[in-house]
Amino acid sequence: MTTVRVDRETKKDLLKISAKLQVKKGENVTFNETIKYLIKQYKKGEREEIEDLFGILAEEDVEDTRKLVRQLRKEGYERVTSLERSVSD
């Protein structure tokens, strides 16, 4: 075994990823397994898997997501306005 030194922030991130992998696998996961997983995903070019772990939105999905948020806000505003009208009648 080799010792790898990481700063506190990196260790914290590794712990988060390890925890998510443990939930996904249903068993304990070591830092070594977590690092292997990240390397494997990097090599395979599967950014989506890594983005999911961090909650990152893929660049190509940003505009569609913005449109959806605008639409949902508009619908919410319309519902509130409709309720206000019905209450004041």
Closest CA to 17 of 1, 4, 41, 3: 41
13, two tokens: 């991130």
Q: How far is 89 from 47, CA to CA, in rounded Å?
A: 53
For 17-56, write each residue's pLDDT tens digit: 999 999 988 999 999 999 999 988 877 766 666 666 666 6
Q: How far is 81 from 78, CA to CA, in rounded Å?
A: 5
Q: What is the mean pLDDT of the chain?
A: 84
The whole-number average pLDDT for the span 65-83 is 86
